[in-house]
Amino acid sequence: AQSVTQLDSHVSVSEGTPVLLRCNYSSSYSPSLFWYVQHPNKGLQLLLKYTSAATLVKGINGFEAEFKKSETSFHLTKPSAHMSDAAEYFCVVSDPDGGGFKTIFGAGTRLFVKA
């Protein structure tokens, strides 16, 4: 069975400081993992995805995430936060081998960026 846990419902950082959004997953298969971002009153946009290639994945807008199988984690990081990064972020696990569409969304982490 799959599950995904975003460890923080809210994260607050100052502009120019690093961002860390934490995600742990559980999967019976070799998972595909994603991070999506949702700005206010908008749909979700793909930030990055892990597909069993390189464990360090680079995405858009300077974000990256590292797949750590031993820790079952896929944390999202950015070296320096920008005001425009304020949004909600969703960690997603997907079963690439299942016959259906087994995609599980985390509950989301809202990122606040202070000037």
Partner 1 sequence: DVKVTQSSRYLVKRTGEKVFLECVQDMDHENMFWYRQDPGLGLRLIYFSYDVKMKEKGDIPEGYSVSREKKERFSLILESASTNQTSMYLCASSPPRQLARSLFFGEGSRLTVL
CB under 8 A: which stretch of 14-22, 59-67, 73-81, 101-109 binds partner 1?
A: 101-109
Q: Which phi and psi angles does 7 have, rounded to 5°?
A: -75, -15
Q: 107 and 21 in contact (C-beta within 8 Å)? A: no
Q: Is 37 in the site for partner 1 (CB under 8 A)?
A: no
Q: Is 20 in the site for partner 1 (CB under 8 A)?
A: no
Q: CB under 8 Å to 69, separation ≥6 — which residues?
A: none
Of the candidate residues 7, 8, 49, 64, the single one contacting partner 1 (CB under 8 A): 49
Task: Tally Cβ neighbours within 10 Å of residue 55.
Answer: 12
Query: What token pair was written down for 10?
Result: 């809210």
Query: What token pair was written down for 97?
Result: 């081998």
Query: What token pair was written down for 46?
Result: 């793909």
Task: Kindly tell me which of 50 and 113 has the beta carbon lying closer to partner 1.
Answer: 50
Q: Is 26 in the site for partner 1 (CB under 8 A)?
A: no
Within residues 55-94, the interface with partner 1 by CB under 8 A covers 90, 94
Q: Is 35 in the site for partner 1 (CB under 8 A)?
A: no
Where does this chain bind partner 1 (CB under 8 A)? 9, 32, 34, 36, 41-46, 49-52, 90, 94, 96, 100-101, 103, 105-108
